[in-house]
Structure 1
Amino acid sequence: MRRIMVVGHGMAGSRFVQELRARDQGRRFEVTVFGAEPEAAYNRVLLSSVLAGSLTPAEIETVPSAWYAAEDVELRTGVEVGRIDRRRRRVLTTAGEHVGYDHLVLATGSRPWVPPVDGLVGDDGELDRDVVVFRTLADCRAMLSRLGRVRYAVVLGGGLLGLEAARGLAGRGVDVEVVHPADRLMERQLDLDSGRVLARTLRGLGVRVRLNAQAVRFTDGWGGGGRGVRLDDGTRLPADLVVVACGVRPNSALAAAAGLDVGRAVVVDETMTSVTDPAIHAIGECAQYDGQVYGLVQPAWEQAAVLADVLAGGPARYGGSAIVTRLKAAGVDLAAMGETDVDDFAADDGLEVLRFADPARGTYQKVVIRDDRVTGAIMLGGPETVGAVTQLFDRAAPVPADRRALIFPGVVDAGGAVDPADLPDDHTVCRCNGVTAGRVRAACEAGADTVADLAATTRATTGCGGCRSDVAALLSATRPTVEVPA
């Protein structure tokens, strides 16, 4: 029996174990999982919903701890691996144990990056009592525990996590200001105009945005004895709480100390195997494939499935992921994919850029087309066509002759912009998990009565949650006698 050890119990590690056991009905593998957090496996993507109060911690649990016992998997939560002994093929845990392996799977994820702002970190190396990062369920609980005494919050970072945290706090009645050093929010995904529309939308939802700004100090002595953040231009912002969301760094120190090839993360090949040691593998945010480190759940889950298949003797290979980024914040509907900061197409006959903006209504839609294929898009405030555009992007399928259909629903057939209930069976409804409309219908016909049932049987809605309305529509259409909650 081969021993497989998984270091990391996050979204990549827990999914890998599920995928492996699904291919290991004969129990050929002895599986042990080490998780630094004491929690059951949960969906980190939905932490902003917990912060906002629309979900509870129990509702974002993905793999109940009881599942591991039922599947004969040893789960060790609250235990970290401190060192890898590659020669003896064993690890040393923080509990002082040496545990052997035949295959070691690194799913250690990332750690938050804390910028060198005076006052964020004390002399003891720990975050100040009023400074939090937004990465784990414990971080989320820490913020929730402070809400009763927080009137003003400053969020450092205007990327995905920062905006989700800011919107969640604003929804709880906190006065929130986002401080971001770039000229636009989410500068990796958005162009300048869409960033401006997003900032305007957020202001309407109670989140102020300050761009091209750097925090230099978190200090006491505010008026009335409060605390605040001083910016590089001398501006002072009151802050009972500072949320640090300035990006992450892959957790690859364990691999580097073991002598593995580490670039930005652990360098792996198309089988998710370290290029240094065939017995060690990496998936998720701690893995680097073809120079790319993915920071989203969909690639992590795709990598987990590939590695599980490889270890089970299958032919799967990883060839990279096409990324669609979604902002999960109440009152904001945003998806961005592929190349988005493209505007000058005069010298490229094969390039088209479609754009429509209505800032007053929080709408900005942009579709980039090369040689009749969607290669990028920003869909802000336009949920009616985002599904069709995403499908065209995923499949590299030809766009409709009348390009207006990609932005304005109902103009002409957009090649997929139809009622969710009428989606073809091969249409991917849940992109995070690769679940098609046909698979959802089959689960409904097999007896699934609720969206929760469909989530349990197909995994649809368990990623970013953006497909929930489509899944509910399919359920309602397939089983019209079942009442689907709004």
Structure 2
Amino acid sequence: MRLVVVGNGMAGSRLVSEVRARDPQMRITVFGAEPCPPYNRVLLSNVLAGSSRPEQVRLLDTSWYAAHDVEAAFGSAVTWIDRDARTVVTEDGRREPYDLLVLATGSDAIVPPIPGVRRAVPFRTLGDCERIMAAAERARRAVVIGGGLLGIEAARGLAGRGLPVTLLHLAGHLMERQLDVEAGEVLGETLAGLGVETRTGVSASSVDADGVRLDDGELVEADLVVLACGVRPVTALAAGAGLEVRRGVVVDDELRTDDPSIFAVGECAEHDGTVYGLVAPAWEQAAVAAEVITGGKALYRGSRLVTRLKAQSVELAAMGETQLTEEHAEVVRFSHRARGTYRKLVIRDDRLVGAILLGESDAVGTLTQLFDRGAPVPGDRAGLLFPGLSAAPVADSPTLMPDAATVCRCNNVTKGQIRECWEAGAGDVAGVAAATRATTGCGTCRDAVAGIVGWLREQEGISV
């Protein structure tokens, strides 16, 4: 069986590792357009801020491919799929036959069609990140266009390097897809305290030599302009092969396209009308596709999205239907803007259907579990927002957390799995990460994993 994977990013590399874990014999070739081994795109903001080095965010290195008998072609873009001959063709003319093909082509950064936009740098790839860092060393002021997740991470990263930063956003408040108006305003106030000036409701008309020109003619001065205007699924390869493409490459519950020998996973895939732009769904899809490819049975039924902002000194989690009002749901809200704190629960039919947690909170684990499982919400609503004030046990305490509780959402790792690998000999967080992949996604579960490991260590000391 010959498996070819097109795309060696977070989805493609996970698919390859999942297949190899299930089948040590299958012949696997993976093509990646980028010239480097796969890396964790979620952690690029840490690289931009200087808190991580590029090599620290790698997912797999070249030695892994050699050790697992996987051929990896770095810097080799596939330009054509010959479905009749079951062959892919690269830009340098290489032809590689396949029995099964997986498209994991990801997304490209959206570049707005405005004059001078070539002076700006998109924030999407490791190469982009390195160009931004090089420019930041000689820049005096930066502008980031786009106030979504990536734009905020880019702005915070540049501010962390000591640059004054202005964040420009077309919508009326930041992260308008995930946050309500007040949460967006509180987030803007938090960023202001970290050195980021936020301008919402503004549109860039051009990128000039001295900065960004707005629609009203105002010039926002900068000698470094970063684009974070969203992403678009890369579907040209699939469309050119005659596969069904809407917003993404259309797939069924087995992640197959309308050609049963071709699968699609990650940001390029559209399942049940949805294109997911987060890492956890991509890795869930990779696991399902790998199971099917290796002869097993598995179905992908969609993902429940939890957005985590990865920016130093900014704690944010948003999930589900955050925009619903009291007309359509029960809404429990707390705001303390002076402390940068905003918490909101959206409850319908006694189930948590949405939540926003901005600012440090020990409620994230419990609320994420309730949201994931669709379990009934306890009657003590205030206790959900402030677990420390409730007389009830805190559900995400390592002592009381059930083994079935999910600790790492990116990799779907439970407390029970962490306990099992500890008992098998993993003696620290690094050992747990190597055995389960916990903490290797967005990284926000690291403290929870460390807490469980510390608790297990204490238990072991007591038993001795």
Same fold (TM over 0.5): yes
Query: What are the superposed Cα offsets for residues 449-484 of structure 1, whole Å, 9 maximum, x if unpaired?
Result: 33222111110000100000011111111124999x
Does 2:37 align with 1:40?
A: yes
Partner in structure 2 of residue 7 of structure 1:
6
Does 2:95 align with 1:98?
A: yes
RMSD (CA atoms): 1.5
Q: 2:171 aligns with which of 178, 182, 192?
A: 182
Q: 2:49 aligns with which of 49, 52, 58?
A: 52
Partner in structure 2 of residue 373 of structure 1:
351
- Count of residue pairs the alignment pairs up: 461
Give the superposition deviation at 1:418: 3.8
The aligned amino acid for 2:295 is G
Does 2:68 align with 1:71?
A: yes
Give the superposition deviation at 1:417: 3.7
User: TM-score, length-normalised on structure 2?
Assistant: 0.97
User: TM-score, length-normalised on structure 1?
Assistant: 0.93
Partner in structure 1 of residue 292 of structure 2:
310
Percent same amino acid among aligned pairs? 57
Does 2:238 align with 1:260?
A: no
Distance 1:261 1:413 in 2: 54
Partner in structure 1 of residue 207 of structure 2:
218
Distance 1:48 1:32 in 2: 30
Q: 2:302 aligns with which of 320, 337, 341?
A: 320
The aligned amino acid for 2:454 is S
Give the superposition deviation at 1:77: 0.4
| 1:377 partner SS | strand
Distance 1:371 1:22 in 2: 41
| Worse-matched range after superposition: 161-170 or 38-47 | 38-47
Tell me if the contact between 1:449 and 1:482 (Cα under 8 Å) persists in the aligned partners: no
Partner in structure 1 of residue 192 of structure 2:
203
Does 2:96 align with 1:118?
A: no
Give the superposition deviation at 1:445: 2.4
Distance 1:72 1:426 in 2: 34
Tell me if the contact between 2:28 and 2:70 (Cα under 8 Å) persists in the aligned partners: yes
Matches within 5 A, 1:125-136: 127-128=118-119, 131-136=120-125
Give the superposition deviation at 1:274: 0.3
Structure 1 residue runs without a partner (length 5+)? 121-126, 221-226
Q: 1:437 aligns with which of 405, 415, 420?
A: 415
Distance 1:420 1:335 in 2: 20
The aligned amino acid for 1:394 is D
| 1:155 partner SS | strand
| 1:383 partner SS | coil
Give the superposition deviation at 1:41: 1.4
Query: What are the superposed Cα offsets for residues 388-411 of structure 1, whole Å, 9 maximum, x if unpaired?
Result: 111000011111111111111223
The aligned amino acid for 1:471 is V
Distance 2:382 2:341 in 1: 15
The aligned amino acid for 2:171 is A
Does 2:354 align with 1:357?
A: no
Structure 2 residue runs without a partner (length 5+)? none
The aligned amino acid for 1:268 is V
Distance 1:228 1:72 in 2: 49
Tell me if the contact between 2:15 and 2:287 (Cα under 8 Å) persists in the aligned partners: yes
| 2:420 partner SS | helix
Tell me if the contact between 1:40 and 1:61 (Cα under 8 Å) persists in the aligned partners: yes
Tell me if the contact between 1:400 and 1:413 (Cα under 8 Å) persists in the aligned partners: no
Distance 2:123 2:79 in 1: 24
